[in-house]
Homo-oligomer: A and B are copies of this chain.
């Protein structure tokens, strides 16, 4: 598919870009003014920029990333980030063990065979790099036994490493759950689908009476979900105006500093500050604040009283009772009073809490159908858009384009790049689209949305990049192939498996360049953070006036697991699929995960700041996706060994069966402790028992919590009345 020179050109280009970016990083990261870009997480943990920059260098970051302990990683990035770094460790181990056999034994076998040369007489499409792959071994050769053995080796190695890793992560999660650190979510449960209250009851009375009966002595109080959308909107508006006010004041102070009385900043109130009446900014924003603050108070009171919904957080006096309550069927009608483990306060998605179960089921079904269609037919809207954006069409839609069309060169360029542009824009927007779809399912926590998005994106990426390029590219390329697919009499399972076997091996070198491009360029960019750096310096120089604005300019955000995990998983899928067929890919995949391992650890330690913490619940997801990748690879090999007319191919059927069995064993053994807090852990003594007030406060949304004039009495409407304290050390809130 790729010639030898193209293959090396691609590799070398990627490598050169990577080296340049690494050099850039080692230069830039030494400058103190850049510390906010390269060490934001450290700075937020209280370290001083000058100290951080001193030690920076090409090898120091590698040494630091390499020698960081698990405890350090968890301390800096939380358990979720540690789990993500551990995914790299696991992938690396699997690939290294696989390479021991595949690279050392299989490549020499391939090189000493001459199938490609023999076939070359007939068909002149192979390149020398293909001699390192299984395609070079003649059909029915006894040498194929070695490849069969390798297939088993790779599968067993994967099982072994995954088992060890799941156990390790599981132990680590349990340590974290038992730890002395106070976790409000361990004292709360999320109650959804609360039925309509009786006429004389408020929601909180209803929840109180129900839970007090079912959990006598341990139930404390509840916090009913309200429709806070309006209050939140007002709250955010006020926060924005406060920032603008600060900015205006800073501008005024600066102008004073230059001598004289200073110039009071002004702006226009209309669209984008371009039109409308000119006003004094400080006065205007002060006025606005005075106007909006009482509105927010009013809205708060109204929402808490009138907008109570059918969901609530219930708080318990000890973690044991909360853990127990979260796992138990409460109502005989199982769709009512559904009780779940509470998500961490930071990751609650308030707008989803009160969505009734029927709506959630319907939304989920619709989202699944939409995602299925996106995965399968994502090219169609792109083609439609590019058809729509041909110049002829644009001319009729936007008449002013006519002038441009007259310039011939421009026309050619636009016509060539418009479809690609549409594709690039679509692919860039896809994660956000999938995220929005996952959120629309009615999932109550951000970490869960992230996992759901990750799953959807994984299917999209594996189906379209991997399967898409290899198989469907071939089938749909010609109309004849498409017709054959439609006349489904020819489309049997064995036919599809055979197709896998035929179409995949020639693509190995293509995918090797893909992996190399991905890690050299991708990692180079994410290590050097050049884009973030440039934006930060521009913003700081021209826009930011206040401390808060500067902080917002360098805020690194959190690791976006929902795009990272599927992308890494694609490399894993490629590596596993080609590990036996074209073992050379293992070398590049190992490089990918090795450099990735260093860079991700560096970023967890220095850069990204976690937004929420799910306690490593991404791991079961990662484990299952690696198994899915293994499963695909086993099916692929079944096809390829069949094409090689090797009579013992039938032995390979055992592998996918074992993979499925292993999946279930993992699920039964480890998953329950991820889905629920085991009672044995919840029953452990705690050093410090948090006050109920602090837990309730953690769960109250910001827009309902702030405001000094806010009366506590009103607030008590949405919370329940306190039960008389029983035996815990929790004290009532004021």
> A residues bordering B, Cβ < 8 Å?
170, 174, 213-214, 320, 323-324, 327-335, 337, 357, 361, 365, 488-495, 661, 664-665, 668-673, 675-681, 683
**Other-chain contact of A669, B335, B489, B491, B664 (Cβ < 8 Å):** B335
Contacts of A365 in B (CB 8 A): 661
B330/A327 in contact, CB under 8 A: no
CA distance A323 to B679 in the complex (A): 14
Most buried by B among A214, A490, A679, A681: A679
Contacts of A670 in B (CB 8 A): 334
- Quick one: given A327-B327, A328-B323, A492-B492, are A214 and B680 in contact (CB under 8 Å)? yes
Query: Distance (Å) between the CB of A221 and the closest chain B CB?
Result: 19
Contacts of A333 in B (CB 8 A): 669, 673
**Other-chain contact of A679, B329, B488, B683 (Cβ < 8 Å):** B329
B494/A492 in contact, CB under 8 A: no
A170/B495 in contact, CB under 8 A: no
**Other-chain contact of A678, B174, B331, B677 (Cβ < 8 Å):** B331
Contacts of A361 in B (CB 8 A): 664-665, 668
B334/A679 in contact, CB under 8 A: no
Query: Distance (Å) between the CB of A313 and the closest chain B CB?
Result: 18
Contacts of A330 in B (CB 8 A): 678-680
Query: Distance (Å) between the CB of A58 and the closest chain B CB?
Result: 43
CA distance A330 to B332 in the complex (A): 23
Contacts of A494 in B (CB 8 A): 488-489
Query: Distance (Å) between the CB of A83 and the closest chain B CB?
Result: 17
Contacts of A489 in B (CB 8 A): 490, 492, 494-495
**Other-chain contact of A332, B334, B661, B668, B673 (Cβ < 8 Å):** B673
A329/B678 in contact, CB under 8 A: yes
Contacts of A214 in B (CB 8 A): 320, 679-680, 683
CA distance A54 to B504 in the complex (A): 83
Most buried by B among A170, A324, A357: A324
Query: Distance (Å) between the CB of A642 and the closest chain B CB?
Result: 13
CA distance A675 to B330 in the complex (A): 12
Query: Distance (Å) between the CB of A548 and the closest chain B CB?
Result: 43
- Quick one: given A361-B665, A665-B361, are A331 and B680 in contact (CB under 8 Å)? yes
A335/B668 in contact, CB under 8 A: yes
26 A-B pairs with CB atoms under 8 Å apart are A214-B679, A214-B683, A323-B328, A324-B324, A324-B328, A327-B327, A327-B328, A329-B679, A330-B678, A330-B680, A332-B673, A332-B678, A333-B669, A334-B668, A334-B670, A334-B672, A335-B668, A335-B669, A357-B668, A361-B665, A361-B668, A488-B492, A488-B493, A488-B494, A489-B490, A489-B494
A679/B327 in contact, CB under 8 A: no
Closest 10 CB pairs of A and B: A334-B672, A329-B672, A332-B678, A329-B676, A174-B332, A332-B673, A329-B678, A327-B328, A330-B679, A214-B679
Query: Distance (Å) between the CB of A571 and the closest chain B CB?
Result: 31
A334/B680 in contact, CB under 8 A: no
CA distance A671 to B669 in the complex (A): 24
CA distance A595 to B283 in the complex (A): 89
Contacts of A665 in B (CB 8 A): 361
Contacts of A680 in B (CB 8 A): 214, 330-332, 337
CA distance A661 to B366 in the complex (A): 13
A332/B170 in contact, CB under 8 A: yes
Q: Which residue of B lies closest to A670 (CB)?
A: B334
Contacts of A661 in B (CB 8 A): 365
CA distance A504 to B327 in the complex (A): 48
CA distance A668 to B492 in the complex (A): 35
Q: Which residue of B lies closest to A675 (CB)?
A: B329
Query: Distance (Å) between the CB of A355 and the closest chain B CB?
Result: 15
Q: Which residue of B lies closest to A677 (CB)?
A: B329
Q: Which residue of B lies closest to A335 (CB)?
A: B669
Contacts of A668 in B (CB 8 A): 334-335, 357, 361
Q: Which residue of B lies closest to A489 (CB)?
A: B492
Contacts of A676 in B (CB 8 A): 328-329
